[in-house]
Amino acid sequence: MSIKLPKNQKKVLEAASSTKQKTFDQISSATKLKPEYVSGASYSLEERGLISITTDSHDELLLTDEGHHYSKNSLPEMRLYEAVQRLGDLETEFDLSQAFDQSNLDKNEINVALSNFVRKNYGTIDQGKIVASRDIDIQLDPEQAALDSISQNLKVEDSITKRLESRGLVKVNQSTVRSIILTKEGMAVLQKGVKVSQSVTNLTPQMLSKGNWEHIEYTAYNVEAETAPYIGGRVHILRDTAEKVKDTLVSMGFQEMEGPHADSEFWINDCLFMPQDHPARTHWDQFALSVPPAQNLPSDLIKKVQKAHIDGVGPDGDGYHSPWSENVALGVDLRGHTTSLSMRYLSGQSIGTIEPPQRFFSVEKVYRNDTLDPTHLLEFFQIEGWVMAENLSVRDLMGTFTEFYRRFGITNLKFKPHYNPYTEPSFEIFGEHPRTGALIEIGNSGLFREEVLHPLGVSCDVMAWGLALERLLMLMYGFEDIRDVHGTLCDLQLLRSTEVPY
Amino acid sequence: MPVVSLHPDILRNMVGIDVSDETLKQDLFNLGLEFDGEDEDGNFQLEFAPDRLDRLSVEGVARSLRYHYGKERGVFIPPLNPPTWSICIQHPISHNRPYVTGAIARGIKLDDSILKSLIQLQEKLHDTIGRNRAKGSIGIHDLSMIKSTETPDGMSSIYYKGTPPSEPSFVPLGLQEELTPMQVLESHPTGKKYKQLVEEDRQYPAFFDELGLFSFPPVINGARTEVTVDTRDLFIEMTGSDQWTIDKMLNIICYALDSHGATLESINISSPDASIQKPDFSSDTKHIDHSRVEQILGISLTSNDILDSIERSGLDATLLTPPYQQDDSLEKSQYKVTIPPYRVDVLHPIDIIDDIGRAYGFYKLQPRYPDVATIGGRTPNSNLERAIRQALIGTGFEDLLNFNLINEDENFSKMRLKDGKEEAYGNYEPVTILEPYSAEYTIIRTWVLPSLLMVLENNTHRAYPQNLMEIGFIAHTDHTQDNRIKEKNAIAATIAHSQASYEEAKSKLQVICQRFNKKIETLPISHPTFIEGRAASIIIDGKSKGILGEIHPEVLILHGIEVPVSAFELSLDSFI
């Protein structure tokens, strides 16, 4: 039984031979089909197993414009040598300028001539003087000979071709020739005869409106074929993680905070009961900014904070034995943690006085003056959260964080007693890695000290914790170098191919 | 965080208890010391937060463990013999280091490991509470090498006084030749390191005996009084800018020496107006409420539980029950707690409650979800930002997240802007970092588009179209603000492929504005970043809010981008 093929495929199949490879060009002239149609039809026929396609690539050497020029006029270094010869004896010193005058080389050629003259040991050039060597016969120059051969389509040694390529005198063109030959199946089909199919590729609006869609046969596609990749919009993986953290905290009753990235050291450090000579307050750790001191800070609050630093809080309280100055407090820095926002909210400066109970959070950028490496960035997102209530205990703190991390698949938390200047008790939180099971540090937490809360006018308990969002991201999705994701060195391909988490 | 290096065998030996490495690690973890590997000699590297400075060496860690295991209880004060030596303070005196303290330790038997441990302790105290020797520094000397002066009070005396930089000469530790203090600062590596601590002083601080200068704090000791394993009697001096700090450092050193069997002896510190004795081993007291301990730990405790935990923290306590309290209730009871002189971290009663928690075992506490009802929610800005991001992603943009820090070259020059000079979107006076760590990050970006162009630059090998967006932070100097900086969020987008055009950018911007019910106008404008005649100012509600156009070819060339790019940027508040 004969088979049906689209018109172009039938023509190509009939033009192919079972014994001799025919190129696309040959088929094109035989069938009067445009080359692109020959190519399209041939691949379809190959998919049907009726022909096979052979691809033959080879390199073709071509002279560049400069190469052509030297092929005609000989290489500049040779012309320089000949110019020196014309001036007088070999092995004799002549002024370079004289040699140039004699040579007719243009400005570009002079540079080429000088470097190659020396490279090829045509002689020496030193302090404006040139000497032509007698040990050389420039008529045997292999590069010149190769140029001439290439211009006549003759074969040339690879090493010389490379040299000429690096001088920009030849270029290598890769040319590909495809040819087809009938397969056994193709011959069998041809013997049985081929009819032209009336199939169409595209369903058109006209077919629908005229109603002739019913009588039409549709060309079968190769439904298994790969398609061109589609690049669509998607949310950034780190942003997506931030959104998940926000959703989680909102569902646990936390309200979001916002506030300045650049803030006075007062809010960033002093309110947190960080002594002014604390090692983390040097410029090497935090970004001080070149702006005048901050203004309009609440002066009564400054006095209370200063008093806490110097005298401590409560009848048994002691202060630090460190200097404290308002000038230091008014310096403007990029925040090293978003606890500056917590201080602003707790003090009533952000949204007015707040009464317990409260839960607040933020997922915002913080800045650390540090080296950039696969796990550390100069700026990263900090997850910050706190709970304000009467009579909180460390068990409440442990319970809250156990619940939070559980939502991200991190379980079996361990609380290592820790020290922060602003919390007591304090705990570093460790948890089991969701995939490897290893014990890893996942956050820092504690109950704010009275030296922090009292100046802010807070008389109940506040427990707080912090964690880098990037750390959560790396744990959950296994990124190894955070720079591939966050920042201008990011890899679009990686971002495009990251699995969507949910 | 500080790391203390100690050998588990030495630790076990000093604690006097035989426990496995694993138990040791677990018990140390619960005290707040995290095992961070071993070195090639089998020393544990223990990382801990810098509050318990008495744990900076094996002696202090062993003491904490002895308390933890109940082998020792309560406050221990080492015996102190009366002084036979004096440090006489003589004017002129160093301006930066006016305070001095000291002690003598006799009959110590040193070996290599004890000597190493003492040096470690000394260096770590310098690094932490000593604030890199600015606030306090330690010198330990072989007492037998010091030739004292007999003073009328019968004391063997040495002198602490200021000396001119250029005299006298002495042989610094580790050298053979004599140098003046000035030469030490110029040529000795330790001298160079601590130069800035003394160079402003007209009188350099120094200790003298009959034979001359033997210590040049905080820089270096003299070679003459160097401590070796054969040294039996130690002379310890400390100087600094704060008396309390150096007294506490001295106490920590004295406790470590006591644990190696040294007999401690006071030193007289005498100045023309007064004479006092150091070290000061007096202890502090604080009061804690029984109810507050129960509340912080979240469990009920007996007074014995609390007293036991206090004693196993190396503290002493007595229960104070108000006389009118009739029943067994401890609700109004307090504990009067005595704190030993080596503790520097107890500022408030809460610090004692933390000690009780560690001794009791925080790890024994069961987590509970607090019975506190609150209502959660996001800020309006956060909701708006998310809505706009989703709308932009819906029109095909890939969301990005770049750094807010950038440099002038990327922010201005590569965008064809002259920093802050001519008026143009993005061309504002930037906020500069005073001491940047890296030349790549020196300012806060004044607009977002430079970051997106950098991403395009770094991804020319990736498939196009590259239609990128970012909603990000920008800032510029504004002295009217409280923090002197105008902070904003901006929406930026770039369209990069072979057919990218002004029209495509505008159509996407328009559809976003439409969805947020904002009418926009686009008025022609000149902007150096964009092709002349193909740039527009984005006007929303009659105000200029941003910029839209086709990126200038020179900007593309500067970024190595080989396709046309159209772009827009406008401030997020346009949509409020």
Contact B39, B5 (CB under 8 A): yes
CATH-assigned architecture of domain B286-364:
2-Layer Sandwich (3.30)
CA distance, residue A230 to nearest chain B CA (Å): 9
Contact B225, B183 (CB under 8 A): no
Calculate the average pLDDT of chain B: 93
Nearest CA in chain A to B464: A231
First-to-final CA distance of chain B: 45
* Closest residue by Cα to residue A182 from A16, A54, A28: A16
User: Is B455–A492 a contact, with Cβ atoms under 8 angstroms apart?
Assistant: yes
The answer to whether A452 contacts chain B (CB < 8 Å) is no
Q: pLDDT tier at B118 (50, 70, 90 boundaries)?
A: very high
Least reliable range by pLDDT among A296-300, B244-248, B325-329, B479-483: B325-329
Domain A65-169's class?
Answer: mainly alpha
Facing residues of B470 across strands? B492
Nearest CA in chain B to A276: B131
For chain B, domain boundaries: 3-68, 80-278, 286-364, 380-575
Distance in angstroms (rounded) separating the CA atoms of residues B169 and B139 = 18
CATH topology match: A3-57+175-215 vs A239-497:
no
Nearest CA in chain A to B127: A279
CA distance, residue B390 to nearest chain A CA (Å): 8
CATH topology match: B3-68 vs B380-575:
no
- Region B417-446 average pLDDT: 88
Please report the pLDDT score of residue A502 as a whole number. 73
Assembly ipTM: 0.92
Substitution target in A368, A445, A492, A494 with the highest count of B β-carbons within 10 Å is: A492
Q: pLDDT tier at B359 (50, 70, 90 boundaries)?
A: very high
Residue B419 has pLDDT above 80, yes or no: no
| H or E stretch at A476 | helix A469-477
Please report the pLDDT score of residue A284 as a whole number. 64
User: Is A288–B296 a contact, with Cβ atoms under 8 angstroms apart?
Assistant: no
Q: Report which residue type is found at A437.
A: G
Write out chain B residues lying below 8 Å of A229, CB-based: 463
Sheet order of strands, A93-95 included: A93-95, A129-132, A123-126
Distance in angstroms (rounded) separating the CA atoms of residues A415 and B32 = 10
Burial class (CB in 10 A: 0-12, 13-18, 19+), B197: buried
> Which of B30, B287, B354 shows the shortest C-beta gap to A316?
B287
CA distance, residue A251 to nearest chain B CA (Å): 6
Nearest CA in chain A to B460: A492
For chain A, domain boundaries: 3-57+175-215, 65-169, 239-497
How does A421-439 read in b/e, with b if 16+ C-beta sit within 10 Å?
Answer: bbbbbbbbbbbbeeeeeee
Write out chain A residues lying below 8 Å of B357, CB-based: 394, 417, 425
The answer to whether A25 contacts chain B (CB < 8 Å) is no
User: The domain B80-278 belongs to what CATH superfamily?
Assistant: Phenylalanyl-trna Synthetase, Chain B, domain 3 (3.50.40.10)
Fold (topology level) of A239-497: BirA Bifunctional Protein; domain 2 (3.30.930)
Write out chain A residues lying below 8 Å of B284, CB-based: 318
Please report the pLDDT score of residue A345 as a whole number. 97
Please report the pLDDT score of residue A74 as a whole number. 87
Contact B181, B197 (CB under 8 A): no
Most confident of A199-208, B349-358, B432-441: B349-358
Write out chain B residues lying below 8 Å of A415, CB-based: 362-363
Token pair of B313 as six digits: 């923290």
Please report the pLDDT score of residue B282 as a whole number. 95
Range 282-321 of A in CB contact (< 8 A) with B? 283-284, 287-292, 294-297, 312-321
Range 420-449 of A in CB contact (< 8 A) with B? 420, 424-428, 447, 449
Nearest CA in chain A to B396: A233
pLDDT digits (tens, 9 = 90+) for B138-184: 999 999 999 999 988 889 999 999 999 888 889 999 888 999 999 99
- Region B198-202 average pLDDT: 86
> Which of B131, B284, B357 shows the shortest C-beta gap to A425?
B357
**Which residues does A186 contact at the CB level (< 8 Å), separation at least 6?**
A13, A16, A18, A45, A49, A50, A51
User: Is B483–A399 a contact, with Cβ atoms under 8 angstroms apart?
Assistant: no
The long-range contacts involving B34-37, CB below 8 angstroms and separated by at least 24 positions, are: B34/A416, B34/A428, B36/B3
pLDDT digits (tens, 9 = 90+) for B505-559: 999 999 999 999 999 999 999 999 999 999 999 999 999 999 999 999 999 999 9
User: Is A234–B398 a contact, with Cβ atoms under 8 angstroms apart?
Assistant: yes
Distance in angstroms (rounded) separating the CA atoms of residues A342 and A270 = 13
DSSP B446: S
What distances in angstroms separate CA B211 from CA A438, B177, B208, B506, one per listed residue? 61, 16, 7, 86
* Closest residue by Cα to residue B190 from B228, B221, B227, B235: B221
User: Is A332–B483 a contact, with Cβ atoms under 8 angstroms apart?
Assistant: yes
User: Is B458–A417 a contact, with Cβ atoms under 8 angstroms apart?
Assistant: no
> Which of A234, A399, A492 shows the shortest C-beta gap to B369?
A399
Distance in angstroms (rounded) separating the CA atoms of residues B566 and B509 = 12
CA distance, residue A255 to nearest chain B CA (Å): 5
Contact A74, A144 (CB under 8 A): yes
Contact B162, B93 (CB under 8 A): yes
CA distance, residue A132 to nearest chain B CA (Å): 45
User: Is B483–A262 a contact, with Cβ atoms under 8 angstroms apart?
Assistant: yes
- Region B3-11 average pLDDT: 90
* Closest residue by Cα to residue A284 from B493, B146, B237, B434: B434
Nearest CA in chain B to A278: B131
CB atoms within 10 A of CB B486: 17
Please report the pLDDT score of residue A477 as a whole number. 80
The answer to whether A464 contacts chain B (CB < 8 Å) is no
CB atoms within 10 A of CB A119: 10
Contact B335, B306 (CB under 8 A): yes
User: Is B483–A257 a contact, with Cβ atoms under 8 angstroms apart?
Assistant: no
Substitution target in B347, B405, B407, B410 with the highest count of A β-carbons within 10 Å is: B347
A–B CB contacts, 8 A cutoff, strictly below:
295
Token pair of B201 as six digits: 């002083």
Q: pLDDT tier at B228 (50, 70, 90 boundaries)?
A: very high
Q: Which residue ranges in chain A fall short of pLDDT 70? A: 1, 198, 283-284
The answer to whether A500 contacts chain B (CB < 8 Å) is no
Write out chain A residues lying below 8 Å of B29, CB-based: 414, 416
CA distance, residue A221 to nearest chain B CA (Å): 26
The answer to whether A20 contacts chain B (CB < 8 Å) is no
Can you give the three-state secondary structure of B457-478, one letter per residue?
A: HHCCCCCCCEEEEEEEEEEEEC
> Which of A233, A234, A238 shows the shortest C-beta gap to B395?
A233
CA distance, residue A291 to nearest chain B CA (Å): 6
Fold (topology level) of B3-68: Phenylalanyl-tRNA Synthetase; Chain B, domain 1 (3.30.56)
Axis-axis angle for helices B303-311, B290-297 (nearest 10): 80
Distance in angstroms (rounded) separating the CA atoms of residues A393 and B484 = 40
CA distance, residue A7 to nearest chain B CA (Å): 35
Substitution target in B55, B245, B348 with the highest count of A β-carbons within 10 Å is: B348
Substitution target in A488, A489, A491, A496 with the highest count of B β-carbons within 10 Å is: A488
Size (chain B), residues: 576
User: Is B372–A357 a contact, with Cβ atoms under 8 angstroms apart?
Assistant: yes
Substitution target in B379, B437, B473 with the highest count of A β-carbons within 10 Å is: B437
Please report the pLDDT score of residue B513 as a whole number. 95
Nearest CA in chain A to B246: A321
Distance in angstroms (rounded) separating the CA atoms of residues B76 and B480 = 58
> Which of B296, B398, B477 shows the shortest C-beta gap to A492?
B398
Residue whose tokens read 């959104």: A243
Nearest CA in chain A to B360: A417
* Closest residue by Cα to residue B447 from B425, B479, B424: B425
Substitution target in B386, B434, B474, B491 with the highest count of A β-carbons within 10 Å is: B434
Write out chain B residues lying below 8 Å of A259, CB-based: none
pLDDT digits (tens, 9 = 90+) for A300-314: 999 999 999 999 999
Give the right CATH number for B380-575 from 3.40.50.1460, 3.30.930.10, 3.40.50.2000, 1.10.10.10: 3.30.930.10
Burial class (CB in 10 A: 0-12, 13-18, 19+), A498: middle
CB atoms within 10 A of CB A445: 25
Contact A410, A442 (CB under 8 A): yes
Least reliable range by pLDDT among A122-136, B263-277, B447-461: A122-136
Domain A3-57+175-215 grouped into CATH 3.40.50.12500: no
Give phi and psi for B208, each to the nearest 5: -125, 145
Please report the pLDDT score of residue B508 as a whole number. 97
